[in-house]
Amino acid sequence: MLYGLKLVALGAVTPPATLLTLIFGLFDTHGKYAYLICRFWAWLILAVAGVSLRVNGVNHIDPRRQYIFMVNHQSNLDIPVLHQSLPSFQLRWLAKKEILWVPFLGWSMWAARHIAVDRADRNDAMGSLKKAQERMASGVSIVIFPEGTRSSDGGLLPFKRGGFLLAIKTQTPIVPVTINGSGKILAKGDWRLRAGEIRVTVGTPVSVEGTGVKNVRALSERVRDLIAANLDPAEKTTGRKNHKAEPAVETHSSVKRRAV
């Protein structure tokens, strides 16, 4: 019954929020105003769900500069979680193209000028990296889920290399971010929004200065290790021995914040 009430509440606020993002998106070249509406929408999602956030490590990053945030992916809640965990940044996701066709979510992503990737088309994927560079020129930071999809067991999947190529080409530092607990609150394939705490750990930026394309695999492994180091023991993978950066381009002091 409680899960149903949460869905009803979210269903009531989603259409007007989407309409506002679409209206702003028509006149907002860079999607910055539409993004602010999306961030408020994200706060509503977490508040209705009864989710609190504990965010650590934001002191490691400078809100006046741009980054590429590399994040593990456990749940559909990860996007609103990042909206609220990094409020000083204008964030754009590198996400699979199919998401644009999802009602409300996809429309809002278009309005806020997120970057869609066609995973089946290598040329389109490379074009998406160029588009990401253009977005960054307008002052935004990029969020990438280097696993390319949600993990079903909380462990880290192999990383795609596209985001690392983007970091090298733009010489933008990579910030490893680890999310713990989102998979338990909204598991992959589940619709029930549970209450609880999600913990976000923001790591120290990884410089790519002097790093070439030939070093993509080593860079990927380093960032993967940093993300894995902050996973809860029960959610960690058994090791890195089966990991390698895949060729396809894929998506997407301490602070305590409570989404209520």
The token duo for 47 is 């508040």
pLDDT of 12: 80
What is the residue type of 211?
T
Which range of 8-12, 29-33, 95-99, 187-191 scores highest in mean pLDDT? It is: 29-33
pTM of the complete model: 0.82
Residue from 88, 86, 91, 207 nearest 138 by CA: 91
Compute the mean pLDDT over every residue in the chain, rounded to the nearest whole number: 83
CA distances from 94 to 143, 206, 250 (A): 6, 19, 7
Fold of 2-258: Glycerol-3-phosphate (1)-acyltransferase (3.40.1130)
CA 134, CA 117: separation in Å to the nearest integer?
15
With 0-12 / 13-18 / 19 or more C-beta atoms within 10 angstroms meaning exposed / middle / buried, residue 213 is exposed
What is the sign of the dihedral through the CA atoms of 108, 30, 68 and 86? negative
- Averaged pLDDT for residues 138-155: 86
Q: What's the full length of the chain, in residues?
A: 260
**Hey, where are the domains in the chain?**
2-258
What is the residue type of 73?
H
User: Is pLDDT of 56 > 90?
Assistant: yes
Strands (E), the chain: 51-56, 68-71, 91-96, 115-117, 141-144, 174-180, 196-202, 255-258
Q: Name the band, by pLDDT with cuts 50, 70 and 90, for residue 259.
A: very low
- When mean pLDDT is compared across 6-20, 77-91, 237-251, the lowest value belongs to 237-251
With 0-12 / 13-18 / 19 or more C-beta atoms within 10 angstroms meaning exposed / middle / buried, residue 94 is buried
